[in-house]
Amino acid sequence: METKLVVKDQLDEAVAALKAGELVAFPTETVYGLGADGLNPNAVQKIFQAKGRPQDNPLILHIEGVDGLAALTDGQVPVTAQRLAEAFWPGPLTVVVKAREHIPAAVRAGLDTVAVRAPDHSVAQALIRQLGRPIAAPSANMSGRPSPTTADAVWEDLQGRVGFIVDGGPTRVGLESTVVDCTQEPVVLLRPGGLSLEMVASVVGEVREPSGEGPARAPGMKYRHYAPKAPVIFVDGIGPDRAGAVLDRLRRRFANGRPESRHLAVIAPDGFPEVEESLGPDDLSAANRLFSAIRHLDHGNPDAIVIFWESEKGLGLAVKNRILKASSERVQDG
Ligand code: TXA
Ligand code: MG
């Protein structure tokens, strides 16, 4: 299949492709999505094939705004979902509600619930409006790879597997939406993301975090995720003052028995030593830069990518979650 890159004000061909049941990759404010007509089972099935995505991992339906939620919900829209959507849509928040029967089983991965969000991006909104139906879309990466925050990153993963990639420039948030299960009271945080837990709690009060015994996380969270080719080492909770010693130790270990010096590519916030890709000054900049930093450093074929991160505040919780999922090793004690 030939992949065509299109600019964001020439959407006619992309809309025609969606109407014909084909796939279109497009920007949202979080990450790029791989979209299909969300009410066409054959179109939705193509998403799983193109990404190599496990069939038991359900998709998010993207709609224009809160007015569209009731049509996808079986019974009443839960008060929590209604309040959250009114407060934060369009934006990086996904609510899980009981699904209306007409939503294809492939979208829900056979569950009786459906995940819905209204993206805050003019291209995504224009595609939904012109298709006139919800767009089902996961992140537009090959399954298991870091989510794409630029059209180039989509191209790297999906060239030849999707007909159109709409280039809307780099995404604003940089990691995926926060997923909240509103079928239970109190609501459950299924995936931390681009809307902070503090913001969710400010509207609904109590938010439960799934524990080992509690309700299952979003099905997708059980898979290995966000992984580049190089192994990722997460250095958790160690500040700039002790970072040099940790890197020396890791380097000695990687050099084990081999004379060549090892290339450890470092991703960390401002102020850390030996940083090749900075996460910037705070949680917002870290969320924005993490995935692109991982992809960029991976192109240099390092022996390992070492990521330093400490905070769980604001978007820090989601940043930490994504680093944990991408890493094969976690170092906690300097
Ligand atoms: O920001 C985002 O959420 C991006 C953009 C494109 O909108 N999309 C995205 O989709 O990240 P994806 O497929 O990569 O992640 C969706 C997550 C998965 O962890 C999935 O298991 C969960 O949402 N999910 C979807 N439907 C669900 C449901 N009915 N119940 C529980 N979790 C669900
Ligand atoms: Mg994804």
Confidence of residue 209 (pLDDT cuts 50, 70, 90): confident
Confidence of residue 219 (pLDDT cuts 50, 70, 90): confident
Instruction: Compute the distance from residue 245 Cα to the ligand 1 centre, in Å.
Output: 38
What angle is formed at CA 111 by the lines to CA 147 and CA 214, rounded to 5 degrees? 80
How high is the pLDDT of residue 214? 44
For the CA of 117, the nearest atom of ligand 1: 7
Taking residue 198's Cβ as centre, other Cβ atoms within 10 Å add up to 12
CA–CA distance, 229 with 113 (Å, rounded to integer): 34
CA–CA distance, 40 with 22 (Å, rounded to integer): 10
For the CA of 221, the nearest atom of ligand 1: 19
Mean pLDDT, rounded, for 123-137 = 98
Instruction: Give the end-to-end CA distance of the chain in Å, rounded to a whole number.
Output: 50
Residue that has been written with the tokens 């991976």 in this structure: 298
Instruction: Compute the distance from residue 274 Cα to the ligand 2 centre, in Å.
Output: 30
Residue 78's nearest CA partner among 218, 214, 188 is 188
How high is the pLDDT of residue 92? 98
Which tokens in the block code for residue 102? 């007409």
What angle is formed at CA 109 by the lines to CA 208 and CA 133, rounded to 5 degrees? 95
Residue-averaged pLDDT of the chain: 94
How high is the pLDDT of residue 212? 53
Does the structure show a pLDDT above 90 at 105? yes
Q: Is 170 helix (H, G, I), strand (E, B) or coil?
A: coil
Instruction: Compute the distance from residue 243 Cα to the ligand 1 centre, in Å.
Output: 34
Decide: 199 in ligand 1 pocket, CB within 6 A.
no
